[in-house]
């Protein structure tokens, strides 16, 4: 039911609106018709009864003496109700001053106590005779309920002296007729409501069909099917909306195609440039290694320049390697080579390979097994730990613990922390928090590469400051066993080779045999500025 209401929510609103409008119109029309018919029926009945009663009072009661006897009064009452009168009459006279006598045609149905006091007062109220009022007494009537049934009661008195007469007319038949009319109008209202619902259903189907097509087209467009178009027919507002959608989709398709072409060109340029730089860099690296070996024999004036050339050559090589790795991530050709490894052994190996044992405290139990890419885990750890050593404060503490189905690796330093305005950007490429220090030892890509390696594992990396204000905390989350990952044999790749990764020879290990003086995989955006805090 909920699903049905959800997909027809607009349809339901249209049906409800139609139903409310129809119900309002039907109820209003029925109410007006009932009121008009009721007034017509009651007016006709009371005019007929009161007219006959007035005529009988003039013909019969007016001929009585001023002081009639009980028998005369009763005889007159019987004469007034004989035949097809259809009402009951009650006459009130006086045989002597202050001694009233009462005669009624049906003592069980109509007595003087049944006459409302207000009606008695109105009937006995003598009015002044003037131009606008020719008689001192008038005929008054009132609708009442007696013993649960409706009645019309009226009264008047003889002008010039004589008895006062009251008439009682049952309205039970009129009530039944009006109830029948009310039922008829209620049925008509219900039929109008059903008809309006059917009409609303038909109208909503006509209106919502193009709207649903537009929604489906927008959904396909959001899924990346930029060639989606709507068939346009007619000249109404919905047709104009379809034309606007088609124009928008065409413009979006063109812009996305242009952007994709430019992005592909940029990626190809970076990849080709990085690949072409490897050949001269290889030669430069060989020369710098020779110079580095002979630095003790060089002129002390030349040695600083040689050291600078050696460090900058290595830095350039690291930058090229990082750019090629970033290009592979952007192109979607980065590969995972999964294996079941002991996480504690991997962290220890990363720290030992870079001679960080004296500067890093490790809190990790052996036996925590995880299915991941050892090389890429080494890249992540090298960047996080190296970044903490370079920009934080010793000691740097690395803790490893499994929580539910996740592996948590926390790297915490004891430095000044990360400025709040820098935190959202620490993983951005080439981000610098301060334009006054545009150059640093790092390439500004280390932390972004670490994040990409975490994402390819299905994990995340977050950066924050310690709650006690003592340093920064980087938290790596990796799935212990990703059920969505294909179950390859250890050592198999989770992503196929791609022609774009023609730099297979360029996809060398990012870590390499780096010591503490050459952290090729620990270059970071510097927590806000490249290589600098």
Q: Is the pLDDT of residue 215 over 80?
A: yes
Closest CA to 428 of 445, 453, 452, 411: 445
Q: What is the pLDDT of residues 95-142, one digit of tens each?
A: 777 788 988 888 888 888 889 999 989 888 888 888 888 888 889 999
Q: Is the pLDDT of residue 511 over 50?
A: no
Residue 519 burial class via C-beta count within 10 angstroms: exposed 0-12, middle 13-18, buried 19 and up: buried
Structure tokens at 459: 């994990």
CA–CA–CA angle 355, 361, 367 (5° rounding): 95
In angstroms, the CA 160 to CA 158 distance is 6
Structure tokens at 67: 């002081």
Write a three-state SS string for 478-495.
EECCCCCCCCCCCCCECC
Q: What is the pLDDT of residues 438-451, one digit of tens each?
A: 445 555 777 888 88
CA distances 166 to 115, 135, 157, Å, are: 8, 18, 9
Rounded to an integer, the average pLDDT of 304-313 is 81
In angstroms, the CA 290 to CA 284 distance is 10
Structure tokens at 78: 């019987």
In angstroms, the CA 481 to CA 111 distance is 98
Peptide bond into 395 cis (omega under 30): yes
Q: 92 Cβ partners below 8 Å, 6+ apart?
A: 100, 101, 102, 112, 163, 164, 165, 166
pLDDT of residue 433: 53
Strand partners, 399: 363, 410
Q: Are 73 and 91 in contact (CB under 8 A)?
A: yes
Q: Is the pLDDT of residue 194 over 90?
A: no
Closest CA to 15 of 276, 295, 205: 205
pLDDT of residue 514: 37
Rounded to an integer, the average pLDDT of 48-59 is 88
pLDDT of residue 307: 80
Confidence bin at 154 (pLDDT 50/70/90): very high
For residues 426 and 508, which has the higher predicted lDDT (pLDDT)?
Answer: 426
In angstroms, the CA 218 to CA 181 distance is 54
Given the DSSP bridges, would you call strands 360-363 and 396-403 parallel, antiparallel or unpaired?
parallel
Lowest mean pLDDT among 232-246, 354-368, 490-504: 490-504
Q: Are 387 and 450 in contact (CB under 8 A)?
A: no
pTM above 0.85, yes or no: no
Q: Are 461 and 451 in contact (CB under 8 A)?
A: yes
Q: 231 Cβ partners below 8 Å, 6+ apart?
A: 242
Q: Is the pLDDT of residue 462 over 60?
A: yes
Rounded to an integer, the average pLDDT of 159-166 is 85
Long-range contact list for 510-513, CB < 8 A, 24+ apart?
Answer: 510/321, 510/322, 510/325, 510/375, 510/379, 510/449, 511/350, 511/353, 511/375, 511/378, 511/379, 511/382, 513/353
DSSP string over 161-211: S--EEEEEEE-HHHHHHHHHHHHHHHHHHHHHHHHHHHHHHHHHHHHHHHH
Residue in the block written with tokens 């204000």: 469
Rounded percentage of the chain residues whose pLDDT exceeds 90: 7
CA distances 398 to 382, 426, 455, Å, are: 12, 19, 20
In the predicted model, what is the mean pLDDT of the chain?
A: 78
Rounded to an integer, the average pLDDT of 504-521 is 34
pLDDT of residue 306: 79
Q: Are 457 and 381 in contact (CB under 8 A)?
A: no
Rounded to an integer, the average pLDDT of 270-293 is 75
Confidence bin at 230 (pLDDT 50/70/90): confident
In angstroms, the CA 253 to CA 259 distance is 10
Q: Is the pLDDT of residue 7 over 60?
A: no
Structure tokens at 269: 């340029």
pLDDT of residue 476: 92
pLDDT of residue 447: 85
């Amino acid at each position: 039911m909920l699903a049905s209401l959800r997909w027809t929510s607009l349809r339901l609103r249209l049906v409800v609106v139609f139903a409310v409008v129809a119900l309002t119109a039907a109820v209003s029309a029925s109410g007006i018709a009932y009121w008009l018919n009721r007034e017509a029926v009651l007016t006709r009945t009371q005019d007929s009864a009161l007219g006959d009663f007035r005529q009988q009072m003039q013909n019969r009661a007016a001929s009585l003496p001023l002081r009639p006897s009980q028998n005369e009064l009763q005889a007159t009452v019987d004469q007034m109700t004989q035949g097809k009168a259809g009402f009951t009459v009650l006459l009130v006279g006086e045989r002597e001053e202050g001694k009233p006598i009462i005669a009624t045609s049906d003592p069980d149905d109509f007595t003087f106590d049944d006459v409302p006091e207000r009606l008695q007062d109105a009937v006995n109220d003598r009015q002044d005779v003037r131009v606008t009022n020719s008689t001192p007494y008038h005929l008054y009537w009132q609708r009442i309920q007696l013993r649960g049934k409706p009645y019309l009661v009226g009264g008047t008195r003889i002008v010039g002296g004589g008895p006062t007469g009251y008439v009682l007319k049952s309205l039970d038949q009129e009530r039944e007729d009006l109830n029948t009319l009310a039922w008829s109008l209620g049925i008509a209202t219900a039929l109008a409501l059903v008809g309006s619902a059917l009409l609303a259903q038909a109208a909503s189907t006509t209106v919502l069909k193009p709207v649903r097509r537009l929604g489906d087209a927008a959904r396909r467009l959001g899924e990346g099917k930029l060639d989606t178009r709507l068939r346009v027919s007619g000249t109404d507002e919905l047709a104009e909306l379809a034309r606007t959608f088609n124009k928008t989709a065409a413009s979006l398709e063109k812009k996305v195609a242009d952007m994709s072409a430019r992005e592909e060109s940029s990626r190809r340029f970076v990849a080709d440039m990085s690949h072409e730089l490897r050949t001269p860099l290889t030669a430069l690296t060989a020369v710098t290694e020779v110079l580095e070996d002979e630095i003790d024999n060089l002129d002390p004036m030349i040695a600083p320049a040689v050291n600078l050339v050696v460090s900058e050559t290595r830095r350039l090589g690291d930058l090229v390697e990082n750019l090629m790795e970033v290009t592979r991530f952007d192109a979607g050709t980065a590969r995972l080579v999964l294996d079941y490894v002991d996480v504690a052994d991997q962290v220890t190996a990363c720290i030992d390979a870079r001679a960080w044992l004296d500067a890093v405290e490790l809190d990790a139990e052996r036996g925590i097994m995880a299915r991941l890419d050892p090389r890429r885990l080494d890249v992540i750890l090298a960047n996080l730990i190296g970044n903490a050593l370079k920009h934080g404060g010793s000691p740097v503490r690395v803790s490893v613990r499994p929580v539910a189905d996740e592996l948590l690796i926390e790297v915490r330093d004891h430095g000044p922390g990360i400025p709040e305005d820098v935190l959202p950007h620490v993983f951005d490429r080439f981000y610098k928090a301060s334009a006054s220090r545009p150059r640093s030892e790092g390439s500004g890509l280390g932390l972004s590469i670490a994040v990409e390696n975490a994402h390819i594992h299905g994990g995340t990396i977050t950066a924050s400051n310690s709650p006690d204000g003592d340093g920064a905390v980087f938290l790596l989350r990796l799935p212990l066993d990703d059920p969505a990952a294909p179950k390859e044999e250890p050592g198999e790749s989770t992503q196929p080779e791609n022609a774009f990764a023609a730099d297979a020879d360029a996809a060398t290990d990012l870590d390499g045999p780096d010591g503490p003086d050459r952290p090729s995989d620990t270059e970071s955006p510097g927590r806000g500025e490249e290589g600098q805090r």
